[in-house]
Structure 1
Amino acid sequence: MQQTQTMNGLNLEQMTQTVQALSDDPGLAQFEFRARNTWISGGENRSKIKDFYGAGQEDSSRAQGWEFTNGEPPVLLGDNEGANPVEFLLHALAGCVTTTTVLHAAARGITIHRLSTELEGSIDLQGLLGLDEDVSAGYENITIRMDIEADCSDEELDDLLAFAQGHSPVCNTVCRPVPVTIERVGADARAVA
């Protein structure tokens, strides 16, 4: 019986096969992820995530999806129904940078023994509320503090982290302007069109 070789919890044979398949057919690298959101009341709304398109087809691996409740703390007119959307952004950023680091460490033959991150982001609510048009509505800055122990030199680790920052899809999305379009759909939108 052949034992699966893993590094950092990743199946190395599967990783090699995936990279080769995407190199052979770049069209397989095109993915479309989806989220569906419903407003509940006030700042509370829920997002459902299940289906996505990738590797040339609709994915069928998920029997059930996930539901995430967005809320706000009382100081922002909510009842702590859940983390707020800008906190979820930090969660997504932490998860993506972590996963990208682990993946590329394995590809480089680096074993990670311990990895944790702490994120902080600063926002001036004057932008959200439209009180000062010179203030951005989004994060002014985000700091990721990563505590990592791996079996490599400090120089290799610094190179790995720089590479992960540049290749993490969420970090890349946050660090550059990304076109976002809001389109009205439904009966009211069709009547106007």
Structure 2
Amino acid sequence: MKTQQAMTQPVMVNGLDVQAAFDTIDAIKADPGLARFQFRAANTWISGGTNRSTIRDFYGAGREDDSREEPFEFMNGEPPVLLGDNEGANPVEFLLHAMAGCATTTLVLHAAARGITIRHLSTKLEGEIDMRGMLGLDESVSPGYERIRILMKIEADCSDEMLEDLLDVARTQSPVCNTVCRPVPVVIERAA
């Protein structure tokens, strides 16, 4: 006979409590308003291409979340060839970091929900950009990435077909990848 403790032990797949994930999904199905989140970042220019972003609170699951005692701080910088001193990764590198993190988390979450154990997952990203666009030297050149390639090395307890499906889920369901892959209105305006 199982003890009470063994019966209430969470089922962990890929480091995630699967029942908690399904409970969250059920709560959102019952109250779609719980799915609305607003994430925030504040940024202060320091000098040249150096600036610092601070991230702390957000709105989600129907309330303000203040669970973070200290803010996360990220220094944005540039390499010397782009007039910086390597004060931090530059913003387009942070975009690659955000894409890698979000695609990884999305894939792992969906794998756990399907009962697929991931034994190893590593990601390498390459983004190609032509600086003539950002510098305004050629109007036919986009100032953003021309192409981003995400290479995911995965070892999992499933078929190759299921892995291909998970890769597609990472591309289509990752909020960061989805945001980058479709036009999203961005408004830049002067604050009071």
Class of the TM-score when normalised by the shorter of the 2 chains: over 0.9
**In the alignment, which of 149, 167, 172 is matched to residue 143 of structure 1?**
149
* Alpha-carbon shift at residue 163 of structure 1 (Å): 1.5
Partner of 1:86: 92
**In the alignment, which of 59, 65, 72 is matched to residue 59 of structure 1?**
65
* Alpha-carbon shift at residue 158 of structure 1 (Å): 0.3
Where does the alignment leave 5 or more consecutive residues of structure 2 unmatched?
none
Q: Report the 3-state secondary structure (helix = DSSP H, G, I; strand = E; otherwise coil) of the residue aligned with 1:140.
A: strand
Partner of 2:111: 105
For 1:141-183, what per-residue CA distance to the aligned partner results, in whole angstroms no more than 9, with x for missing partners? 0001110000000001101111221000000000011100011
One-letter identity of the residue aligned with 1:88 = F
**In the alignment, which of 28, 34, 45 is matched to residue 28 of structure 1?**
34
1:9 aligns with 2:15: yes
Partner of 1:71: 77
Q: CA RMSD in A?
A: 0.6
Partner of 1:43: 49
Q: Report the 3-state secondary structure (helix = DSSP H, G, I; strand = E; otherwise coil) of the residue aligned with 1:81.
A: coil
1:152 aligns with 2:158: yes
- Give the TM-score of the pair, scaled to structure 1: 0.95
* Alpha-carbon shift at residue 60 of structure 1 (Å): 2.0
Partner of 2:120: 114
Distance in structure 1 (CA, Å) of the matches to 2:156 and 2:71: 34
For 1:126-153, what per-residue CA distance to the aligned partner results, in whole angstroms no more than 9, with x for missing partners? 0000000000000000001110000000
Q: Which runs of at least 4 in structure 1 moved beyond 3 Å after TM superposition?
A: none
- Give the TM-score of the pair, scaled to structure 2: 0.96
Distance in structure 2 (CA, Å) of the matches to 1:164 and 1:74: 34
For 1:73-97, what per-residue CA distance to the aligned partner results, in whole angstroms no more than 9, with x for missing partners? 0000001000000000000000000
One-letter identity of the residue aligned with 1:176 = R
- Overall identity of the aligned pairs, in %: 69
Distance in structure 1 (CA, Å) of the matches to 2:21 and 2:73: 29
Where does the alignment leave 5 or more consecutive residues of structure 1 unmatched?
187-193
Q: Report the 3-state secondary structure (helix = DSSP H, G, I; strand = E; otherwise coil) of the residue aligned with 1:120.
A: strand
